[in-house]
Amino acid sequence: MTSAAALVCVLLLAGEQPRYHVGVDAVRVDVLVTDAHGRPVRGLEARDFELRDSGLPQHIDVVAFEDEPVRVLLALDVSGSVAGEPLGHLRRAARSVLDLLGPNDRASVVNFGEQVRLTAPWTNDTRELSGALESSRAQGATALYDAAFAALMLRDRQPGRFLVIVFSDGADTSSWLSARDVVDLARRSDAVIYTVGVRHEERQPVAGYRVDVSSGVQWGVPDASDAQLREPFLAALSAETGGAFVTVESTLRLRATFTSILREFRTRYLLTYSPRGVSPTGWHPIDVTLTAPKGQVTARRGYVR
């Protein structure tokens, strides 16, 4: 929750650009509330939420809903295993997200194989973003951890709600950084991370331990399926940040998945509070509930400062 470090006020850029005055150490928590059918619940106010930081009830200063511009970073796996049709599906999915951006929203694209490339820096020029997507080629191994780390580090310098969509169809094979490094950084960020994987048939890969670095073809581990290697990281990353981990049966489903993620993100509430009575440092578990049983709450598990 580093956004709070020097925050004197939260400046909301949308509409009339209202100013909300909160504490110096304000914490922002993105919250999704859904009903029994998984549909977003709208119209909630501060009094509808209860928030505990490290077990202590906190006063919620601000509840924002669709007020602040969105900053979407797409971190897309373009390793060798995505070559061919899947890359086309991935491009279309990414373009569909860009099509949904509002005038104040901005996006950026990071592609990764064994290299991590900033394909498109932060911009609201959708033509520039689309052009960057077309230039991506699928090759090499998979530096998933390095890419996720870079995605979190490269958040837009302009304020907004930070959404990261990470797509990967395989396990990490070439990162220098570890999964734990990334999860640790995610705990210190206010980004909401949605992760998207492709469901492979269990045990389909040939026996072995990792990826062919030249072709990008994936192999599983004899004692564990590919899914067991890949999904814990993607699931942990999204759970830590209050996002979701989605697996698709086929890359044909990526477009619908990506757009539903952005639509869902727009329906989230942004709670802001100034922590009281809690330690100024360390891990702070957060628990967000509703005062009345109006739906299910999804939020990050906590934050580190």
Partner 1 sequence: MRAPGRILTRILAAACLSSGTSVTVAAQSRAVRPVDLSSYHVLVVSYRAGRTSPVLEIMGWPPRRLLSIVDGIEGPGDPVRPWDTGRFAAAAWMHTDAALRFIGLGDRDGASAQLDAASRVLRAGGARTTPLARQWYFAVVRGLRDRQWLATAERLLQLGRERMPGDPVVLRESGMLAELLATDPTIPPARAGLADVLAARRQTPLVEPFTALAERRTRHLDDADRWLRQALDREPSSVDCRLHLGRVASLLDRQDAPALLETVRAAEAAYAYLADMFLGASAERAGRMDVAESHYRSALERLADGHAAYMALARVLRMAGHTDEARGLLDASVSRSPDDRREPWWWYFYEAPGLAAARMDARRDEARR
115 forms part of the interface with partner 1 (CB under 8 A): yes
CA angle 127, 132, 134 (to 5 degrees): 95
Note the helical H segments in the chain: 85-99, 126-134, 144-153, 179-187, 226-241, 254-266
207 forms part of the interface with partner 1 (CB under 8 A): yes
Number of other residues whose CB lies within 10 A of the CB of residue 188: 13
Closest CA to 269 of 248, 235, 250, 294: 294
* Rounded CA separation 217/192 (Å): 30
**Contacts to partner 1 from residues 219-258, by CB under 8 A:** 219, 221-224, 228-229, 232-233, 235-236, 239-240
Among 141, 148, 244, 246, binds partner 1 (CB under 8 A): 141
* Rounded CA separation 106/20 (Å): 22
118 forms part of the interface with partner 1 (CB under 8 A): yes
Indicate the DSSP class of residue 168.
E
Instruction: Choose the binding region for partner 1 from 107-115, 126-134, 191-199, 251-259 (rule: CB under 8 A).
Output: 107-115
Q: How many chain residues bind partner 1 (CB under 8 A)?
A: 52
Instruction: Choose the binding region for partner 1 from 45-53, 63-71, 113-121, 251-259 (rule: CB under 8 A).
Output: 113-121
Which tokens in the block code for residue 101? 């951006």
Among 32, 60, 150, 192, binds partner 1 (CB under 8 A): 150
Q: Cβ 222 to partner 1, closest distance in Å?
A: 6
Pick 204 or 250: Cβ nearer partner 1: 204
Q: Cβ 230 to partner 1, closest distance in Å?
A: 9
Q: Give strand pairing partners of 72.
A: 107, 163
* Rounded CA separation 106/78 (Å): 22
Among 2, 54, 247, 274, binds partner 1 (CB under 8 A): 2
* Rounded CA separation 138/275 (Å): 45
Q: Cβ 301 to partner 1, closest distance in Å?
A: 8
Pick 7 or 63: Cβ nearer partner 1: 7
Pick 43 or 222: Cβ nearer partner 1: 222
What angle separates helix 85-99 from helix 126-134, to the nearest 10 degrees?
170
Phi–psi pair at 240, nearest 5 degrees? -60, -30
54 forms part of the interface with partner 1 (CB under 8 A): no
212 forms part of the interface with partner 1 (CB under 8 A): yes
Among 209, 263, 277, 279, binds partner 1 (CB under 8 A): 209
Binding characters for partner 1, 167-186, by CB under 8 A (x = yes): ----xxxxxxxxxxx-x-x-
Note the helical H segments in 56-143: 85-99, 126-134
Instruction: Quote the distance between the C-alpha of residue 265 and its chain's center.
Output: 10
Which positions touch partner 1 (CB under 8 A)? 2, 110, 114-118, 121, 141, 143, 146, 149-150, 153-154, 171-181, 183, 185, 206-215, 219, 221-224, 228-229, 232-233, 235-236, 239-240, 301
